[in-house]
């Protein structure tokens, strides 16, 4: 109950504070490429129930039919504005709407495509016992997922080298979850965004 109350209050405050950014981002997305402001892909929610996730659209329209579910390094489907949003993880902010709707939590196993959750076995099924989250352990480890999968045959690489590890980290969160851990992961996530936005200091030799 505490987690849910915190999620809703924090999300309402976040949406209120970010409203000007949402407006500016929406205008920039529409100017940059034709299509909707939001991407509404289907993901597996709690108990495996499908839901439509909210993200700022970072790819061309119908991108899912133009390529696989994994985004490659330098993926040509990504728009110019989308590249900026993705770099600083700003495309994830609209998921605050999913939290208010009850689809997601601030912290929880990152939501996955149904094609993968349908194959969960044994302990992996624990992942679906809680609401998926905007951030978790796997968000930290795979913050540069596109660089890890590279440019070629990215879906195969994701399935063979990444997915199992992501599921391990998702299970780790489910087993260890508590309110203080959530606060820690939220702080680390926000700090990671700040470090990306903050320009790096140059040395005298630069």
Q: How far apart are CA 117 and CA 37, in angstroms?
A: 27
- Whether pLDDT at 140 is above 80: yes
**How many CB atoms neighbour CB 60 within 10 A?**
15
- Whether pLDDT at 203 is above 70: no
| pLDDT single digits (tens) 89-123 | 999 999 999 999 999 999 999 999 999 999 999 99
Q: Scanning the structure block, which residue is given the tokens 């076995």?
A: 121
What pTM did the predictor assign?
A: 0.90
Q: How far apart are CA 88 and CA 73, in angstroms?
A: 15
| pLDDT single digits (tens) 57-90 | 999 998 988 888 899 999 999 999 999 999 889 9
Q: What is the DSSP string of 176-193?
A: H--HHHHHHHHHHHHHHH
What does residue 59 show for φ and ψ, rounded to 5 degrees?
-125, 170
Q: Scanning the structure block, which residue is given the tokens 């998921």?
A: 95
- Whether pLDDT at 33 is above 80: yes
Q: How far apart are CA 60 and CA 34, in angstroms?
A: 8
Find the mean pLDDT for residues 123-127: 96
Task: Let me know the angle formed at the C-alpha of 88 by 83 and 89, rounded to the nearest 5 degrees.
Answer: 90
**How many CB atoms neighbour CB 151 within 10 A?**
11
| pLDDT single digits (tens) 148-202 | 999 999 999 999 999 999 999 999 999 999 999 999 999 998 888 777 666 545 4
């Amino acid at each position: 109950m505490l987690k849910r109350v915190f999620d809703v209050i924090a999300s309402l405050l976040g949406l209120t504070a970010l409203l000007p950014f949402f407006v500016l981002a929406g205008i920039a997305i529409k100017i940059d490429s034709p299509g909707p402001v939001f991407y509404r892909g289907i993901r597996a929610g709690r108990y495996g129930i499908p839901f439509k996730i909210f993200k700022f659209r970072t790819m061309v329209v119908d991108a899912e039919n133009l390529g696989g579910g994994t985004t490659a390094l330098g993926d040509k489907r990504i728009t110019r504005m989308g590249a900026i949003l993705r770099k600083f993880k700003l495309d994830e902010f609209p998921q605050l709407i999913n939290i208010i709707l009850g689809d997601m939590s601030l912290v929880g196993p990152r939501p996955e495509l149904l094609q993968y959750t349908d194959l969960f076995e044994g302990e992996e099924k624990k992942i679906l016992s809680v609401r998926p989250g905007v951030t978790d352990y796997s968000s930290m480890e795979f913050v540069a997922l596109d660089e890890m999968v590279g440019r070629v045959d990215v879906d195969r690489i994701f399935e063979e080298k990444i997915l199992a590890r992501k599921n391990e980290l998702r299970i780790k969160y489910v087993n260890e979850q508590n309110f203080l851990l959530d606060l820690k992961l939220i702080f680390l996530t926000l700090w990671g965004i700040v470090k990306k936005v903050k320009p790096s200091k140059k040395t005298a030799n630069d």
